[in-house]
Amino acid sequence: MEKKTLTIIDLFKMVRRNNKVYLINFIVTTIIAVIIAFSLPVSYTSSVKMIPIISNGNSMGGLGAAASLMGVNLNDLGGDNEDPFSIDIYPEIIQSTAFLKKLANTQVKMNDSTKVMSLSHYFLNCQKKPWWSIKIPFLKDKKETVSVDKKNPYRISEEDYNLYTEINDCVNLKVDGGTGEITIDVTMQDPYVATMTVDNVCKMLQKHILDYRTNKAKQDLDYYEKLSAQSRIEYLKSMNAYANFADANVDALLMGYKSKESALENEMQIKFNNYSQMEQRKEAAKAKLLAKTPVFNIIQPAYVPLKKSAPRRMILLVMWNIITTSALTVYFLVKRKIEEEQEM
């Protein structure tokens, strides 16, 4: 017996034979999808777009030329050979526990309230959840509780871990490798909270990048400022010693006095040269710190969203019907194949 080839006409005939089953499936699926869609809380998305302008080692040519005129090589300050801060690591920064912990402590305000609260308080007390995610007390899984030492910085409680995970799920950062554009999206149930949070994420990320980029340059500047201040004191001491000796022995003609005066003058000149060199290095360190400081161009600032971003109820309804109808069709096809094999 030859194997029958399934055609489009056969599919239509199969659907027609089982039209009541398909109708019941459509009605039941639609009811379930509507219940689920209207049980999901409404959420809003606020976005920020920015481009960080960060100089690398090759962009300090003008600064290096200016510093060389002062007799200072910026490479001696330990700068141009450092690797630039890669934008690919930005998503990992905002997903880190340390970043999320700071973000949880930032202040936000809801749309219909004047009360200012922490983001952690908002998540724990103001976020709505669908009815199926609410845990009934006597049906909760009994888990062994692990005592957490709050003084131990390497341990976090399960509640904090769950909180940071929820916050992380609401924050998204995308990086365009071609243009360097950074897009930060924050989705919350309250539009004001979403806007304030995305603004806080943007500012915290900028500060993190700024601290990372300028930390070494700031240390160098502090170091040379201290050396410059110390060398200035030593120069002033030697200058006063020379001036006092010269004034006290202005009429002296003995070789011993002249030799002493010459030694003090030479020491003063050495101290002055050292002070001048430290001043040059200090100014070069200032210039290097300026070159290392990134500039952030905000392309799109945070705005309060007017339209909801989720749930998309119509899409959810259509997708559920497509999935259940496809599954039902596969069931009838498998059933038909089994019947044909039995007839053979």
Q: Answer whether residue 343 is part of any domain.
A: yes
Indicate whether 137 pLDDT > 60.
no
Six-digit token string for 265 = 């003058």
341 or 75, which is more confident: 341
- Regarding whether 73 and 124 lie in a shared domain, the answer is yes
- Regarding whether 212 and 320 lie in a shared domain, the answer is no
* Per-residue pLDDT tens over the stretch 84-127: 567 788 899 999 999 999 999 999 988 777 789 999 999 988 88
Give the C-alpha separation, 253 to 262, whole Å. Answer: 13
Mean pLDDT of 195-199: 94
Tell me the percentage of the chain whose pLDDT exceeds 70. Answer: 80
**Nearest alpha carbon to residue 103 among 210, 188, 204:** 204
Amino acid in the structure at residue 94: I
Mean pLDDT of 191-199: 94
83 or 231, which is more confident: 231
Mean pLDDT of 180-202: 93
* Per-residue pLDDT tens over the stretch 55-90: 654 444 444 554 555 555 555 555 454 545 677 888
Indicate whether 308 pLDDT > 60.
yes
Indicate whether 9 pLDDT > 90.
no
Scanning the structure block, which residue is given the tokens 């749309």? 111
Q: What angle do CA 223, 224, 226 make, to 5 degrees?
A: 70
Number of residues in the chain: 344
- Regarding whether 196 and 180 lie in a shared domain, the answer is yes
Q: What is the 3-state secondary structure (H, E, C) of 74-110?
A: HHHHCCCCCCCCCHHHHHHHHHCHHHHHHHHCCEEEC
* Per-residue pLDDT tens over the stretch 141-157: 554 444 445 566 677 88
- Regarding whether 340 and 285 lie in a shared domain, the answer is no
Indicate whether 260 pLDDT > 60.
yes
Q: Answer whether residue 48 is part of any domain.
A: yes
Give the C-alpha separation, 86 to 88, whole Å. Answer: 5
- Regarding whether 85 and 141 lie in a shared domain, the answer is yes
Confidence category of residue 192, pLDDT binned at 50, 70, 90: very high
Indicate whether 139 pLDDT > 60.
no
Q: Answer whether residue 2 is part of any domain.
A: no
pLDDT given at position 59: 46
**How many domains in the chain?**
2
Q: What is the 3-state secondary structure (H, E, C) of 149-207?
A: CCCCCCCCCHHHHHHHHHHHHHEEEEECCCCCCEEEEEEECCHHHHHHHHHHHHHHHHH
pLDDT given at position 148: 47
If one counts every other C-beta atom within 10 angstroms of the C-beta of residue 140, the result is 8
Indicate whether 279 pLDDT > 90.
yes
Q: Answer whether residue 183 is part of any domain.
A: yes
pLDDT given at position 144: 43
Backbone CA torsion sign across 61, 62, 63, 65: positive
Range of the structural domain that residue 253 is part of: 41-310
pLDDT given at position 239: 92
- Regarding whether 323 and 222 lie in a shared domain, the answer is no
**Nearest alpha carbon to residue 171 among 95, 269, 255, 258:** 95
Give the C-alpha separation, 308 to 64, whole Å. Answer: 52
pLDDT given at position 166: 92
Q: Answer whether residue 1 is part of any domain.
A: no
Ranges 32-36, 111-115, 251-255, most confident = 32-36
Mean pLDDT of 247-260: 74
- Regarding whether 268 and 138 lie in a shared domain, the answer is yes
Q: What angle do CA 191, 197, 201 make, to 5 degrees?
A: 145
Q: Answer whether residue 317 is part of any domain.
A: yes
- Regarding whether 217 and 132 lie in a shared domain, the answer is yes
From 4-8, 42-46, 263-267, 324-328, the region with the lowest mean pLDDT: 4-8
297 or 256, which is more confident: 297
- Regarding whether 250 and 188 lie in a shared domain, the answer is yes
- Regarding whether 324 and 298 lie in a shared domain, the answer is no
From 109-118, 148-157, 206-215, 265-274, the region with the lowest mean pLDDT: 148-157
Tell me the percentage of the chain whose pLDDT exceeds 90. Answer: 35
Six-digit token string for 270 = 């050495």
Give the C-alpha separation, 193 to 188, whole Å. Answer: 7
At residue 326, the 3 state secondary structure works out as helix
214 or 138, which is more confident: 214
- Regarding whether 205 and 327 lie in a shared domain, the answer is no
- Regarding whether 338 and 277 lie in a shared domain, the answer is no
Q: Answer whether residue 3 is part of any domain.
A: no
